[in-house]
Structure 1
Amino acid sequence: MRGELAEHLNEFITGVNQAIAQAKEDGVVATPELARANLAKLAAFVTQVPKLAYAEDGYVFADQMEIPVKVYSPAPEEELPVLIYFHGGGHMCGSTELYDPMCRKIAIAARCIVISVEYRLAPEFPYPAGINDCEDVVKGFHQVLKNVQYGNKVLIAGDSAGGAICTTLAIRAMTDKSLKIDKQILIYPSVDYTSSMPSVEDNGTGFLLEKTRIQWYFDNYFDDYEDREAMSPLFGPFDATMPDSLVVIAGCDPLRDEGLEYAKKLRLAGVNVEVREFKNMIHAFMNIEDLVSEECRELYSLIGSFVNR
């Protein structure tokens, strides 16, 4: 079933669809550089950037690598929960800089420390380089908190591709007990690399994220020999030891159904799951906050409540 778009997004989506049609007519060839530049343009729709008591850049060292991170705390003298955030962007785009306003708002809404990870991107660094970076940060985050007090609760969170990273790490944590994850927050997560759910067709055109773009992202992320079903968290193992989960869904998103199915499988495995569907929202609505301010306020409030339960 195709989603019904919120009226206050009609003008934005009309402009996006016109731009997509014009690019096709002009024969514009998709490249990683162009995709990154286009996602970065969405920063113009997130203009409120709150101040925090502590916001610093740092590095987590692992396997002779330096993984850049940004660290945020609303109260560096308090022992707050630690939330490690993995940004979206199809495993090819996005950055800690683009997600700086969102991470600040999560830190404030949830009264927690947020560590935003600048993981490596495809196609320069295909699967599983970015996931390995994020795992290293989850295991070594204490390296960047020497000037910040923190508690024992560790959460992971991410939108879209960042949600895919979270769910992959949740699977790894089932057998790797050194990977401590108390909760996960998944915002319109990408969990099915086979694109087999009905909403990929139902919502696959006209709602910003299109089916052809999803396939292009995955083609750049994976090498030809990899089994995409085996790599998909949706088709991986589930058990009751997986972290309590908040799953946020957008009704006009091609990824809608896989997110709902993932939540269903968690619940059947005995995991505590909270699902909130924003029925009239598109994928990446978090990145256009100025157009959907009420929905984003609710999103941050949801995250805050979930972190502190």
Structure 2
Amino acid sequence: MRGIVSPKLVPFLEQANTAIAAFKATGKGFSAELVRQGLDNLSALIGAGPNMSIVKDDFLTTSSHNIPVRIYNPAANDVLPVLLHFHGGGHMCGSVDLYDPISRKLALATHAIVICVDYRLAPEHPYPAGLDDCQEVLERYKSLLTEMKYSDELYIAGDSAGGAICTSLVMNNSSNEKTSSSVKIDKQILVYPSVDYTMVSASIDENGQGFLLEKDKVQWYFEQYFQMGSVGQDKIAQAKIVKASPLLGKFSADMPTTLVITAGCDPLRDEGIAYAKSLAEVGVSVEHYSFDGMTHAYMLLNDLVSEECQQTYQLIGQFVKIHSSD
């Protein structure tokens, strides 16, 4: 069923849809530069984040490159859990800078030290480069916190493609895929997550036009990420994206307690709902909430839907508090 959008978003969507139609009329295709600029333009609507006790830019060094991170500590004198934050942006866009207010609000809501990761982006660095960066941070994050007080409790959080990263890390570090480098993740927080690269959920078509994130752009994002001509048309490529899709992997009871938040007017709505259902079916403690009138990326539109954004942070804070002993 197609979502019914909140009146709060109607004027914004009318402007966005006019701009999208004008762009399509030019006959030009998407480009990394254009989509990155488009997402960065939403920074005007994100709003300011709260002050932190400590904000620190740092990086992890690998044999081939550095992985930049930004660390947010809301209470330097307290012993806090750690939350690894993976931003959204279709695996092509987004940054620590764009998501700075969101990282700050997450730190305040969860009372945790937040480490936001500037992982590598496609098409310059296709799959699995960005995911590999995030696994590296997952394994080595404690080395970034040598001067801070922290507990062993570990959360991960992400929206959209950041949700894909979270769920991929969970899949790769669960009992099904466990290796000597696997890390125990206590909780994951997913906001309108991307968890199925095959694009077969009904909402991909039902909400695939007119709600900011459109089906053709989702497909183009995935083509850049996986470096393939057309998602799903080549058998080898299809096998690759199926294997990479967390929703299509094997679920196990040792996966972390999970919060899933979906948006009713989002093309990715149904895959997020299905992911929560799959966790519940294997006995994982999971909570799911839907913001029915919201579109994909509504957390970047704080100035337009501040009440819904505030409610989202409250749900995240309550989830962490209620399940603090899990």
- Structure 1 length as normaliser, TM-score? 0.98
Task: State the partner residue of 2:110.
Answer: 110
Task: State the partner residue of 1:4.
Answer: 4
SS of the aligned residue for 1:217 comes to: helix
Task: State the partner residue of 1:187.
Answer: 191
- Gapped runs of 5+ residues in structure 1? none
Is residue 215–residue 267 contact of structure 2 (8 Å, CA) maintained in 1? yes
Task: State the partner residue of 2:142.
Answer: 142
* TM-aligned CA deviation for residue 64 of structure 1: 4.6
SS of the aligned residue for 1:134 comes to: helix
CA deviations 1:164-214 (Å, max 9, x no partner) are 001111111111363221111111000110100000000000000000000
Following TM superposition, where does structure 1 have runs of at least 4 consecutive aligned residues deviating by more than 6 angstroms? none
Task: State the partner residue of 1:14.
Answer: 14
- Structure 2 length as normaliser, TM-score? 0.93
Is residue 192–residue 260 contact of structure 2 (8 Å, CA) maintained in 1? yes
Is residue 276–residue 286 contact of structure 2 (8 Å, CA) maintained in 1? yes
Task: State the partner residue of 1:176.
Answer: 179
CA deviations 1:48-85 (Å, max 9, x no partner) are 22211110100123345321000001111211010000
Task: State the partner residue of 2:50.
Answer: 50
1:264 aligns with 2:280: no
Amino acid in structure 2 at the alignment position of 1:164: A
CA RMSD of aligned residues (A): 1.1
Task: State the partner residue of 1:219.
Answer: 223
SS of the aligned residue for 1:98 comes to: coil
Amino acid in structure 1 at the alignment position of 2:271: E
In the alignment, which of 298, 301, 310 is matched to residue 297 of structure 1? 310
Partners of 1:301 and 1:294 lie apart in 2 by 10
Question: Identity of aligned pairs, percent?
Answer: 50
What is the number of equivalent residue pairs in this alignment? 309
Partners of 2:129 and 2:48 lie apart in 1 by 32
CA deviations 1:122-163 (Å, max 9, x no partner) are 011111110010011011111211221111100111000000
Is residue 139–residue 180 contact of structure 1 (8 Å, CA) maintained in 2? no
Is residue 72–residue 113 contact of structure 1 (8 Å, CA) maintained in 2? yes
Partners of 1:143 and 1:60 lie apart in 2 by 9
Task: State the partner residue of 2:85.
Answer: 85
Is residue 192–residue 269 contact of structure 2 (8 Å, CA) maintained in 1? yes
- Gapped runs of 5+ residues in structure 2? 229-235
Amino acid in structure 2 at the alignment position of 1:214: V
* TM-aligned CA deviation for residue 229 of structure 1: 1.5
